Amino acid sequence: MGKETEIKLRASADVLNALREHPLLKSRLVDDWQISTLYNQYYDTPERDLAGAKVALRLRRDGDAIIQTLKSRGQSVAGLSERNEWDWNLQEQALDFSLLDDSCWPAALAELDKSTLQPVFTTDFQRTRVLLRWERDGEQVEVEAALDQGEVSAGEQVEPISELELEIRTGSPVALLDLALELCRDQVLMPCDISKAERGYRLFDPSSYALRLDAPQWQASTSVDDVIEGLVTQLLGRVQRLAEQYRYARQWKLFRELTGSMTALRACFGVFDLALPRSSAQAFIVPLDQLLAVFQPLVLEGWADDAAGEIARAQASEAFDQQLSDAAWGQLFVELALWLLAKRWQTKRPPRGDRIAALTLQRWLLGTVGKEIQELRVPHHNDTDHQVHEWMDQLPRLGRLHLLLGNFRSFLEVSEPDRLFGELNKLQALLEQYPQIEEEQRELLLAALRKQGQRVRKLNAWRELNQ
């Protein structure tokens, strides 16, 4: 068994051709580029039991070699994935079930009748590969770079393959992301959190592509540092998987969820105080704000079930494509993955930040939510209409509260935290509507905002947190 650590980056054919001549790659070549054609047949039961167990089984023909491979599906964030892989060289083009024993076969499939395994889809592509070698911090690094072009096919359903794969052979995964980031600075590359096998299954059923990573198992005693790592990992992975699925399916719901997850990711950089210093995340704050400035208005306008809403939904698709055509997209999300892997928020963190980072989730949460609530300016029935702009200024704070309560309210020691979360969400939704409505409707919305502000102030949790 080996552990496969790689990053996939979606690219156009022109970009793949340009990469063969990229100065950074040329300076690290060990030998010449090699071209081969890989024919891959994937197997599963009619009920897709292997997919349910998160494993992939294939036969690959590479020239005269026939290779049987079993892969487990690990976590993948911003294209970087780690998973276990077992390879066996065979003499003939047929599965050898005797190799699929307890040393690799998932316990969840122990009772499966392997004779029910059948071909389900193929991934056939041309691979142009080369070995790269360099030194980083006194350590030798070896990476295989592969340019893959071909297609996934399941029956009559077909999806093209056009991507760069970088797989670590020797050295740290940090070096792999360093290389990917440098390539993203001048090439249009989209981090791609979907394997070729997942694409095959998606051709059968678009909903089979999981949009969420496994949720962290939070505990009241979890440290703030572990919360930072787990939460950013979860949100970054979700953003990238939603982006991939929206690119594929163009469903409006996916664009809304993508924008919401990007909003939550942006809020992460404002809730942890000095445990996550703003200076450590400055490189992400500006580009995330720029993306949200484009996407958020389209989400709000797209809710309308009229011609204007239809136009906004079409514009959202165009805006998304425009962002993906810019090298800044890949640079942002690969750099975030590198920041996360190297835990760079801890670098040069002040002593007070270290103390906050060591707090337990439960203790930190009460103080953090309490501070946000105490500084929250909710509408009051005595406020004038002109003060609506002061209420609007509270949207970033409401976004931070949504992130905190949405993920951790079960650890908040106040009365009815679910109700606090719900009423604040209603206030946030009303405020977000204000810039979108017609002038003649604003009086009704202002009245609704004052009424919602009164509801919030009557909550026991609100009073407890303001003590």
Structure tokens at 356: 């906050």
Q: How far apart are CA 454 and CA 451, in angstroms?
A: 5
Q: How far apart are CA 140 and CA 154, in angstroms?
A: 41
Predicted confidence at residue 28, as pLDDT, reads 97
Contact assessment for residue 237 and residue 314, using Cβ atoms and an 8 Å cutoff = no
Predicted confidence at residue 82, as pLDDT, reads 73
Q: How far apart are CA 141 and CA 191, in angstroms?
A: 21
Predicted confidence at residue 1, as pLDDT, reads 57
Structure tokens at 404: 């905190």
Where do the structural domains in the chain lie, given as residue ranges?
Answer: 1-210, 213-350, 360-465
* Environment class of 291 (CB within 10 Å of its CB; exposed 0-12, middle 13-18, buried 19+): buried
Length of the chain (residues): 467
Strand partners for 128: 35, 147
Backbone angles phi, psi at 32, to 5 degrees: -85, 160
Query: Among all chains, which residue has been given the structure tokens 């300076």?
Result: 27
Backbone angles phi, psi at 38, to 5 degrees: -110, 125
Query: What fold does the segment set 1-210 form as a domain?
Result: Hypothetical Protein Pfu-838710-001 (2.40.320)
Predicted confidence at residue 353, as pLDDT, reads 97
Encode burial over 349-387: b for 16+ CB neighbours within 10 A, e otherwise. beeebeebbebebbebbbebbbebbeebebbeeebeeee
Predicted confidence at residue 437, as pLDDT, reads 83
pTM above 0.85, yes or no: yes
Q: How far apart are CA 213 and CA 237, in angstroms?
A: 7
Structure tokens at 183: 């390539």
Contacts of 348 by beta carbon, 8 Å cutoff, 6+ apart: 277, 279, 280
Q: How far apart are CA 190 and CA 174, in angstroms?
A: 18
Instruction: Reduce the secondary structure of the chain to three states and give it as a string.
Output: CEEEEEEEEECCHHHHHHHCCCHHHHCCECCCCEEEEEEEEEEECCCCHHHHCCEEEEEEEECCEEEEEEEECCCEECCEEEEEEEEEEECCCCCCHHHCCCCCCCHHHCCCCHHHCEEEEEEEEEEEEEEEEEEECCEEEEEEEEEEEEEEEECCEEEEEEEEEEEEEECCHHHHHHHHHHHHCCCCCEECCCCHHHHHHHHHCHHHCCCCCCCCCCCCCCEHHHHHHHHHHHHHHHHHHHHHHHHHHCCHHHHHHHHHHHHHHHHHCCCCHHHCCHHHHHHHHHHHHHHHHHHHHHHHHHCCCCHHHHHHHHHHHHHHHHHHCCHHHHHHHHHHHHHHHCCHHHCCCCHHHHHHHCCEHHHHHHHHHHHHHHCCCCCCCCCCHHHHHHHHCCHHHHHHHHHHHHHHHHHCCCCCHHHHHHHHHHHHHHHHHHHHCCHHHHHHHHHHHHHHHHHHHHCHHHHHHCC
Q: What is the pLDDT along the chain (467 residues), one digit of tens a residue?
A: 567 789 999 999 999 999 999 999 999 999 999 999 999 999 999 999 999 888 999 999 999 999 999 998 666 665 577 778 899 999 999 999 999 998 899 888 999 999 999 999 999 999 999 999 999 988 999 999 999 999 999 989 999 999 999 999 999 999 999 999 999 999 999 998 888 999 999 998 878 888 877 778 999 999 999 999 999 999 999 999 999 999 999 999 999 999 999 999 999 999 999 999 999 999 999 999 999 999 999 999 998 888 989 999 999 999 999 999 999 999 999 999 999 999 999 999 999 999 999 999 999 999 999 999 999 999 998 999 889 999 999 999 999 999 999 999 999 999 999 999 999 999 999 999 888 888 888 899 999 999 999 999 999 999 999 98
Predicted confidence at residue 78, as pLDDT, reads 53
